Amino acid sequence: MEGRDPTMKITKPEELQQHPEYKEVLVELLFQLADDDFILSYRGSEWLGLAPHIEEDIAFSSINQDTMGHAAMYYQLLEDIGIGKADDLAHQRPSSERRNAVLLEEVNGPGHYLSEPRYDWAFAVVRHYFYTQAKKVRIDSLKHSSYEPLAQVAVKINMELYYHLMHWRTWFIQLTNAQGEARERMKKAVAKVFEDFGGVLTLGVKGDRMVEFGLIESEKILKQRWVQAMKPVFAEVNLDLPSEFGMKRGNGRNGEHTADLDEAIMTLSEVYRLDPLATW
């Protein structure tokens, strides 16, 4: 066992060779961060051309690009550590090796992105908003991570998150405060998202070690901050904020996933798999 030194900082990937346990836990955290952004950005990209209006199509697409860019930065950190090439990590790993929250892999709604999509905008708004707030809490904590290359990435990501959060909060409040069908749809979407939201907030089985190594703050603290941030918004839309969140369809941090993820991986790697060794 390595001793815990709260002031310890790792500044370069090469230093990890002396800290095998630290490295193992760091890799776990980086996969969670990378896989979360990667799969949600993929789901967002399926919405292309289908958003409620053209202006939103442009804004949403811009957010998806940023999010894919964040995933690429995390995969690059993994590549720098020697885990594998970023593109291979993103495209090649089977669902059992993925660490994203199950909520983020769920399909956008009935239908396929090219044929008869009946996507649910209420679900899109709630999932993106709640996730983005959780991401903001996480990024704020990662800015002080003991792994300095990660802390630097967190500072970069944080700048873009401000706009994402504002975007989704605006949609959430507007639609939930609208009367009639919109409010009903939003309430249903909130209930649906909460069923699996516990999976977004957890750090998985290695969570305690992540905290010990000063990589990120504890699950409990992060969750409290999320609740604190959401409280005034829930008051504004006159909805109850639960204190516990479910993991109805499993804990993605442990590699538990649904068929939705398998299908997504098949699609997003379709061209890559034609020849993983070729230059594309």
Partner 1 sequence: MPVVTSFRWLSEEEKYERFMERINAGEKIEADDWMPEDYRMTLIKLIAMHGISEIMGALPEKEWVPKAPSLRRKLGIMAKVQDEMGHGQLLLRVAEDLMAPLGKTREEIMQDLFKGDLKFHNVFHMPAPTWADAGLIGWLVDGAAIITQTNMLDASYGPYARALKRICAEEVFHAQHGESIILALAEGTKEQKEMLQDALNRWWEALLMFFGPGSAATTGTSKQDITIKYRIRTKTNEQLRQDFFTKYVPRILSIGLKLPDETMHFDESKGKWVYKQPDWNRFKEIIRNNGPKSKERLRLRELSYHNNAWVREALSGQSAAV
Q: Which chain residues interact with partner 1 by CB under 8 A?
A: 42, 45-46, 48-55, 57-58, 61-62, 64-65, 68-69, 71-72, 75, 86-87, 90-91, 113-119, 121, 174-175, 177-182, 185, 267-268, 270-272, 274-275, 278-280
| Closest distance to partner 1 from the beta carbon of 125 (Å) | 9
Nearer to partner 1, 94 or 242 (CB): 94
Say which residues have a Cβ less than 8 Å from residue 219's Cβ, sequence separation at least 6: 201, 202, 203, 207
Nearer to partner 1, 56 or 219 (CB): 56
Q: Where are the alpha helices (DSSP H) in 106-180?
A: 121-142, 148-177
Quote the tokens at residue 279: 């230059």
Cα–Cα distance, 244 to 143 (Å, whole number): 27
Nearer to partner 1, 107 or 222 (CB): 107
| Closest distance to partner 1 from the beta carbon of 15 (Å) | 26
Can you spell out the DSSP letters for 187-200?
Answer: HHHHHHHHHHHHHH
| Closest distance to partner 1 from the beta carbon of 29 (Å) | 19
| Closest distance to partner 1 from the beta carbon of 209 (Å) | 28
Nearer to partner 1, 117 or 250 (CB): 117
Three-state SS sequence of 57-85: HHHHHHHHHHHHHHHHHHHHHHHHHCCCC
Quote the tokens at residue 249: 């369809």
Nearer to partner 1, 1 or 118 (CB): 118
Cα–Cα distance, 174 to 182 (Å, whole number): 9
| Closest distance to partner 1 from the beta carbon of 63 (Å) | 10
